[in-house]
Amino acid sequence: MKRIAILTAGGDTPALNATIYGAVERANQLGVEVLGIMKGFGGMIDPRLPYVHLNPLFSTIPELDPCQGGTLLGASRTYIDGDDTEQMKLVTGRLEKLSIEGLVCIGGDGTLNGMQPLSEFFPCVLAPKTIDNDLGLNYLDEPNEYVREESPEDDKPVYRKQSSRDEFELSDIVNYATPGYATAVFVVAQAIQRIRTTAESHRRIAIVEVMGRQSGYIALGSAYGQPDIILIPEVPLDASLLEHRVRELYDLQKHVVIVIGEGVVDSTGHWLGAVSSSVDPAGNIRFSGAAEQLKKILVGALGDDVFRVQRRHESADSAIFTRKVGHTQRGGRPIEFDRFHAAQLGGNAVEMLVHGQNNTMSTLQWSEQNGFVYESLAASKLRDRWNVIHPRIVHPSLYNPKRFQPSKLGVQYLMPIFTNAIGSDDMEHIRADLFSPGNLATRYQSVNIDVQKRLQYLTDD
């Protein structure tokens, strides 16, 4: 292969540039040219096919900085329609006109849905990314545990996990951690530590909402910030157990910190924070306010007296406050774990393409004996028998719903990712750069301005 293309699709993560960087550096070693397609599949559908040459003379362009969050190529949640064969042919025709021989897609499940039909016409591999850590499997036969049922509400079928293996080995996990996850947890753990001391001083109950859609990995990892209670989407809310624990903790320490995953459901299976009519272009539900809804539940359950008795607060409403960590989880400088493994996964994806693979995913595996290694997996292994990719969920054995904390195995799962996740340069970066006087004198220099100068179009040729 002499020339390949790369794109970033779906929501951004802090590690996208690191993945692109790893891919381009490996391509330099292999003597392969890399063209970056702008704005994910949106750029592929555009007849002008906007692109940037990422390694002229097999040297990585300086704008590609693996320490910079986001993606210099831009991202979009526009996807190719897998049933539109005409569109597929148009897209591959455009790639061929630029002499592109293979495509690396950096993305999550939505990207895989776009990439797999394309791979019928053109060699494609996926390098994974998602802060939600939900692209992967706890073990290889997990997709077989789903059943399909008719929905009582509309004509779309509902997929439900019927069972889960009681036990599994951590080395069974496909994609132990996806690039972006570690940095998201880094942000969340710090947010919790900061909210803790203010809740502690003012005798308040803090509810911190974290991202992750239907998967509770970010909430699980938030344990590093030592919240008192962690609620994950995989376990329906047990309101009376929660109330009991909150009363117990408030009585003991005069404040409580609760973390709630945005996709937590009530005992009937309804999302606490869903605006059900709102979905993104990939069909994912947009969550709006699990924390606010939980506050309403606690205000009702605890009442004002708990707070008034010792004159701590006038009312439950003023004592309980909510904060969303929000998009800060998705942005900024990636920590070392993400930078390193994202780059390796990108490099691995390029090698997979060059060695003739198609429709496969670059994966990060872990075992006690070997630590982290990079492998590849047929992308179809992620699908159930109806061809659906389900978000990987936190396995029941990783979380203790009685204690609202990670289980023993959950702790064992987290340790390989986080024990050495922060590099000394990450801390030095904060020390040296955050309060640099230069920040006051110079405006932010957007990579978009520099990349624009390198932009080329298929229609130029």
Stretch that binds ligand F6P, among 36-44, 59-67, 206-214, 334-342 (CB under 6 A): 206-214
The least distance separating ligand F6P from the CB of residue 126, rounded to whole angstroms, comes to 15
Provide the pairing of β-strand 256-261 with 205-210.
parallel
Question: Site residues for ligand F6P, window 128-147 (CB under 6 A)?
Answer: 130-132
Alpha carbon distance 333, 70 (integer Å): 9
- Applying CB under 6 A, which of residues 4, 6, 7, 11 lies at the interface with ligand F6P? 11
Those residues with Cβ within 8 angstroms of residue 28's Cβ, 6 or more apart along the chain or in another chain: 55, 58, 59, 60
- Applying CB under 6 A, which of residues 4, 80, 191, 211 lies at the interface with ligand F6P? 211
Question: Site residues for ligand F6P, window 321-360 (CB under 6 A)?
Answer: 330
Stretch that binds ligand F6P, among 23-31, 63-71, 207-215, 222-230 (CB under 6 A): 207-215
The least distance separating ligand F6P from the CB of residue 212, rounded to whole angstroms, comes to 5
Q: ∠ at Cα 439 (433, 441), nearest 5°? A: 145
212 binds ligand F6P per the rule CB under 6 A: yes
- Which CB, 14 or 410, lies closer to ligand F6P? 14
The least distance separating ligand F6P from the CB of residue 425, rounded to whole angstroms, comes to 26
- Which CB, 131 or 414, lies closer to ligand F6P? 131
The catalytic residue among 12, 46, 109, 132 is 132
- Which CB, 110 or 123, lies closer to ligand F6P? 110
Residues paired with residue 79 on neighbouring β-strands, in sequence order: none
Element (H, E) at 147: strand 146-149
When CB distances to ligand F6P are compared, the closest residue is: 211
Q: Which of 105, 108, 92, 111 is nearest to 49 (CA)?
A: 92
Q: Give the interface size with ligand F6P as a residue count (CB under 6 A).
A: 11
Question: Where does 73-123 show beta strands of DSSP type E?
Answer: 103-107
The least distance separating ligand F6P from the CB of residue 100, rounded to whole angstroms, comes to 28
- Which CB, 94 or 129, lies closer to ligand F6P? 129
- Applying CB under 6 A, which of residues 26, 39, 196, 213 lies at the interface with ligand F6P? 213
Amino acid at 344: Q
Structure tokens at 395: 């396995």
The least distance separating ligand F6P from the CB of residue 430, rounded to whole angstroms, comes to 23
Contact 45/96 with Cβ under 8 angstroms? no
Alpha carbon distance 222, 211 (integer Å): 11
Element (H, E) at 159: strand 158-161
Residues in the chain: 461
Q: Token pair 């005992």 is at which residue?
A: 267
Alpha carbon distance 193, 213 (integer Å): 23
- Which CB, 188 or 206, lies closer to ligand F6P? 188
- Which CB, 34 or 260, lies closer to ligand F6P? 260
Ramachandran assignment for 245, one of left (phi > 0), alpha (psi -120 to 50 degrees), beta (any other): alpha
- Which CB, 13 or 28, lies closer to ligand F6P? 13
The least distance separating ligand F6P from the CB of residue 447, rounded to whole angstroms, comes to 19
Alpha carbon distance 182, 187 (integer Å): 9
Question: Site residues for ligand F6P, window 151-180 (CB under 6 A)?
Answer: none
Rounded CA Rg of the chain = 23
Stretch that binds ligand F6P, among 96-104, 127-135, 251-259, 345-353 (CB under 6 A): 127-135
The least distance separating ligand F6P from the CB of residue 68, rounded to whole angstroms, comes to 18
Alpha carbon distance 319, 99 (integer Å): 63
Half-sphere exposure in the Cβ direction for 34 (13 Å, CA): 33
Distances (CA, A) of 86 to 118, 158, 371: 11, 30, 45
Alpha carbon distance 425, 432 (integer Å): 10
Stretch that binds ligand F6P, among 143-151, 209-217, 369-377, 396-404 (CB under 6 A): 209-217
- Which CB, 149 or 280, lies closer to ligand F6P? 280
The least distance separating ligand F6P from the CB of residue 11, rounded to whole angstroms, comes to 4
Stretch that binds ligand F6P, among 124-132, 142-150, 248-256, 307-315 (CB under 6 A): 124-132
Task: Respond yes or no: is residue 132 known to be catalytic.
Answer: yes
- Which CB, 187 or 195, lies closer to ligand F6P? 187
- The C-alpha torsion from 137 through 138 and 143 to 149, rounded to 10°, is -110
Amino acid at 39: K
The least distance separating ligand F6P from the CB of residue 223, rounded to whole angstroms, comes to 18
For the chain, the distance separating the N- and C-terminal CA atoms, rounded to the nearest angstrom, is 21
Which residues bind to ligand F6P, rule: CB under 6 A? Answer: 11, 130-132, 211-213, 262, 280, 287, 330
Which residues participate in catalysis according to the annotation?
A: 132
